[in-house]
Structure 1
Amino acid sequence: MSHIKDLDFTSQTDALILNPEENNDYQLLIKLKELPFVSIIDKIDSQVSELIKLKKPSRRFQPAELSEEVDLFFRDLDKEKYGVWVYYPWKNCLVHLLPEEDFVAVRTVRNKYKITEEEQQQLSHKKIGIIGLSVGQSVAISLAMERSFGELRIADFDILELGNMNRLRTSVTNIGVPKTTLVKREIAEIDPFLKVTVFDSGLTEENMDSFFTDNGNLDLLIEECDNIKVKIESRLKARSLGIPVIMDTSDRGLVDIERFDLEEKRPIFHGLLSKFGSEEEVLGNLEELKTSVLMSILEYENISSRGKYSLMELGKTISSWPQLGSSVIMGGAMCSHFARKILTEQEVNSGRAYIDLDQYFNTDNES
């Protein structure tokens, strides 16, 4: 019997898509099915029933009628060779899915008409970059669920630690796994046809050009990293290429949008750093200006009271800026929302806004 190490699917981040109509893929599929540790999930009848209902939306099927329609669908087809089989090596799991076009149609049917068919097609060609995978993880998953991109480029050098798990939705079995790997795997399990390109060293001077321009320029950057130098340099690069930028800070629901695609000379961070000199001077003196620059970027006077207290405790009782899971999930959803609107050419202006839930209800007024 073949062992998994002998087969050509050793990657622990890439799902292997097999087309059983192709002989080599079919032979590999047979080998995989013979392996005792590979679990097989074949729910193709259920997916075909959804496809049938999608194509006949005005008809209300009784369960027996729908079952008959599925049997009729497969009457002249070899069910095992229909569609694709996807192997997930990190789970030793083989899944039977609809062909790509039908898979996408069924998976996005509940997007209609919140997202029009024309917009969904438009989004399928867009390239989005995400730097930093705390809030960035929630953004990436939200974008993938709505299928708001054709390619996603993700950059983070960090691995999952236990202390990340107050805000990253994952399993303790993944402690020590690179965050880029976690996001790529999760998206592949949602939709194996989506392209995810990984930069597992984070964004660096060496790979910045590749991140922004390989196989075509990014259409949008979502910046969620902690490194102030990278925050500045990535915006300068985005502006030079006319790429809009979105950021969420996970405090008081702050969403920050810079439309460098519409305003090629717009100062980064809305000019909040101009008091420190030119952008080049800020970068050159960043080591001594770091704290002041951070306070300006965050607009310290607008930070929540608990956020301000947390800043005072940095390096004393806590070692890094706190983020809550609820804030990160909300930030991911908001970034995804504005990303979709920008990429489908709806009106979104540069600026920043606070979606501060505490101001609407009688809470303990964290703001």
Structure 2
Amino acid sequence: MQILPVFYRRRKSNEDEQYELLLREKPYIKIFDGIRSQLKEFVKTANPSQKLSPGDIDQLVSNELAGLEEKDYGVWVYYPWSERMVHLLDEQEFSILRTNRNKYKITDEDRENLSGKKIGVVGMSVGQSVALTLAMERSFGELRIADFDTLDLSNLNRIRAGVHNIGELKVNIVAREIAEIDPFLNVTTFEEGLTIDNIEEFFLKNGKLDVIIDECDSLEMKISLRFFARKHGIPVIMDTSDRGMLDIERFDLQPDRALFHGRIPEESLTNLENLQPHERFQLTAAIVGVEQISQGLKKSLGEIGKTISTWPQLASSVLAGGANAAHVCRKISLGEDVPSGRFYIDVDDIVTNKQ
């Protein structure tokens, strides 16, 4: 299924013809034309110090149209997966208006700097929340997302998606949702997930990543992406969605930094294919720090393979973790002072002073 929107700028005769042809071929396309309300909001936000009457607003809108018919202003965006056509402000005005409520937590200078950043997100569980938060804040110029998995019904306890998406690739679900928030954002999908064969493309093609966020399940890939990130001086962020644990590894500032904060010898991170299941579990436990996990997760680990098939994740933790990872990603992208380390943003601990 197509995951990219299609743009029609009807003031251009050839695109207007293509638009009309599409509607003749697909008369069932649902049209959403809210361009006048967007123009009114745009001129009001452009004049925040003035108390504008309805007549003033209408005059400013007319000035903005500069003689164009409303249908020819801005851009019409076609979403093939939902058969919707939406009339929007074009990219410059759209981005100014959509991010207006970010000021001055994100300044115009910040926004300009972020528009040149390339961010990678691997794994679309917590990664979905990271990607959507970055998109809503417009905190990147290009977003590369990787996950080979499709959406299962059991994923809907923590992944924001409708039941009509069951069986769809998670990366495509995320890419479509971002396009529906902001069709001008540049999102590159890796439908096969992050692999040894495509890791160089994911990290380096069309410019090196500025930050990578690791939310994948594969132990091998967690390790491989860190070796690659360290080699190329790219910081790594990881949220585990348990006790708000957030890992930050600043390989951009510390090119010789030990992987996973040196919690285990690096020689233990190779030749994983020969590990027995219990050895793999011990390695994972050492990386995560099993002594620090929540009581609920400790209990769950003992039930894996007995009463449950894998470890649990809650929507509240996944959404909070995604927001925290996106926040740190933005700060690193803007060159703020963010140290390496392992941090806990544990609401239970903060509120009740208990683990």
TM-score bin, normalised by smaller chain: over 0.9
Matched, 1:172 2:163: yes
Task: Give the C-alpha shift of residue 81 in structure 1.
Answer: 1.4
**Which of 343, 349, 353 is matched with 1:359 structurally?**
349
**Which of 288, 291, 306 is matched with 1:316 structurally?**
306
Contact persistence 2:223–2:269 (CA under 8 A):
no
Task: Give the C-alpha shift of residue 292 in structure 1.
Answer: 1.0
Q: Equivalent residue for 2:193?
A: 202
Matched, 1:278 2:302: no
Matched residue type, 1:212: F
Count of aligned positions: 353
**Which of 48, 56, 79 is matched with 2:70 structurally?**
79
Distance 2:281 2:268 in 1: 16
Q: Equivalent residue for 1:250?
A: 241
Q: Equivalent residue for 1:8?
A: none
Q: Equivalent residue for 1:33?
A: 23
TM-score (norm 2): 0.96
Kindly, what percent of the aligned residue pairs are identical? 50
Matched residue type, 1:183: V
Contact persistence 2:141–2:185 (CA under 8 A):
yes
What SS does the aligned partner of 2:248 have? strand
Cα distance, 1:286–1:150 mapped onto 2, change above 3 Å: farther
**Which of 344, 349, 357 is matched with 2:339 structurally?**
349
Q: Equivalent residue for 2:42?
A: 51
Distance 1:286 1:361 in 2: 40
Matched, 1:336 2:326: yes
Contact persistence 2:74–2:89 (CA under 8 A):
yes
Task: Give the C-alpha shift of residue 218 in structure 1.
Answer: 0.5
Cα distance, 1:284–1:317 mapped onto 2, change above 3 Å: closer
Contact persistence 1:229–1:286 (CA under 8 A):
no
Matched, 1:147 2:145: no
Cα distance, 1:287–1:25 mapped onto 2, change above 3 Å: farther
Contact persistence 1:160–1:179 (CA under 8 A):
yes
Matched residue type, 2:16: Y
Contact persistence 1:16–1:86 (CA under 8 A):
yes
Distance 1:286 1:342 in 2: 35
Distance 2:130 2:225 in 1: 18
Q: Which moved more, 1:328-337 or 1:52-61?
A: 52-61
Once the two structures are superposed, the pairs formed by residues 178-217 of structure 1 within 5 Å of their partners are 178-217=169-208
Contact persistence 1:33–1:40 (CA under 8 A):
no
Gaps of 5+ in 2: none
Distance 1:286 1:76 in 2: 71
**Which of 260, 284, 299 is matched with 1:294 structurally?**
284
TM-score (norm 1): 0.93
Contact persistence 1:270–1:351 (CA under 8 A):
yes
What SS does the aligned partner of 2:352 have? coil
Q: Equivalent residue for 1:42?
A: 33
Task: Give the C-alpha shift of residue 293 in structure 1.
Answer: 1.0
Task: Give the C-alpha shift of residue 280 in structure 1.
Answer: 5.3
Distance 2:275 2:161 in 1: 35
Task: Give the C-alpha shift of residue 282 in structure 1.
Answer: 6.0
Listed one character per residue, the Cα deviations across residues 138-196 of structure 1 (whole Å, up to 9, x for unaligned) are 00000000000011101000001100000001100111110011000000001111111
Distance 2:287 2:197 in 1: 26
The RMSD of aligned alpha carbons is: 1.6
